[in-house]
Amino acid sequence: MKLYPLKFTPIFKDKIWGGQKIKTVLGRDFGTLPNAGESWDISGVDGDESVVCNGALAGNNLAELVEVYMGDLVGDKVYAKHGNQFPLLVKVIDADDALSIQVHPDDEMAAERHNSLGKTEMWYLLDADDDASLISGFNGEISKEEYLTRVEDATLEDALRSYPVKKGDVFFMPAGRVHAIGKGCLIAEIQETSDITYRIYDFNRVDDNGNHRELHTELAVDAIDFSYVENANIQYDLKANEPCNVVDCSHFTTNILKVDGSLSRNYEDLDSFVILMGAEGEITIVCDGCEETIAMGESVLIPATLNNITLKSQNGKLLECYIK
C-alpha cells in the first residue's frame, strides 16, 4: 500500500505533576484521566506504539509499519542502524507542577543496563506561564563529591541552573545533563526512543496512595555529566520561509520553519523519515496529492519515500525533525 503523511492517535499519560493544558490550550480530549501530563504523539516504545488515525493505514501501529515498510518508511540508513525500532519519540508535556530533578543515561549505558537506547532530547516551549522556569545543568563547576554531598544534605537545588522561559524557547538536553521542567511549561519534546529516567530528587511528593516515587541515586551518579554549560537556552534567528537549525546531533536534527504563504521542502537527499510538529498557528501539508493540516502540538510523520512537500500557512511555525 502506498505510503502517505501519517497522523497518529495520541497516547495520554496522567502524571503526579500533570495539568489540563493539553485539553484547554491544545484542544485534545483525554477522557476520564485526572490530567494529561504527557501526550505521546509518535511512539515506538514497546507497549506504547502509536496507532495510525488517518487514511488507508488507519488502525496499524508504528511497529507494524516499520516491520512491513522498513527503509521506505524510515530511510534505508536509519533502518540499517535501528532495524524495526522506530528511533524517536515525540510528545507534548504539560507541567502543572515541577517535574522531578532527573538525568538520563547515554546509549552505551542504557544498552548495558536496560537493553535500551539512551535519552538525548530537546524541548520547544509551546507555551509558558509568566513565572515559568526550568532547570538545565549546574550553575557552576561541581565535582562528583560535592554533588553527592548536596544530594545527601538536600541542597542540590542550590547548585542547579534555573532559566526563566517563554513561548518559543529551545533547549537541548544531551544524555547525562541534570534537568527538570518547571511548573507552567507546555513543551514539545523530541527524544530518542527510550523511557529510562533516573530520578534524583522529587520534592518529597507522594502519589494518591501516599507513596513517594522511587529515586535512583546510585544509578544517576554514574550517568551525570558534571561539565558546566554557560547557556543552555539555544539562541536562534527565525526568518519567514527559511529553515532555522536549532539542534544538530547524531540522534536527530531539528529545524524551525516559519511558513508565510507557501514553502516547498525537498527531502530527496535525506534518506530519513521527517517529523513535522506544529509550533504555532495552523499549517497545511501538501504531499503527493494528499493534504494534512496540523495545529500547535500536533505531529505528522512523512515517510522517507516522500521527497517533496509543500507547506501552506499564514505565519504558522513548525518543528522539522529527521536523522542525518
Residues 69, 41: Cα–Cα separation, whole Å: 20
Which residue carries 526512543 as its cell? 193
Residues 287, 5: contact at Cβ < 8 Å?
Answer: yes
CA atoms within 13 A on the CB side of 72: 9
Cell matching residue 12: 495520554
Does 265 qualify as catalytic in the annotation?
Answer: no
281: region left, alpha or beta (phi > 0 left; psi from -120 to 50 alpha)? left
Residues 57, 44: Cα–Cα separation, whole Å: 16
Annotated catalytic residue, options 161, 177, 199, 265 = 199
Question: Among residues 261, 233, 95, which one has the least CA distance to residue 168?
Answer: 233
What is the 3-class SS of 236-274, one letter each residue? CCCCECCCEEEEECCCCEEEEEEEEEEEEEECCCCCCCE
The residue type found at 237 is: D
Where is 86: in which H helix or E strand? none
Question: Among residues 317, 319, 305, which one has the least CA distance to residue 273?
Answer: 305
Residue numbers annotated as active site: 199
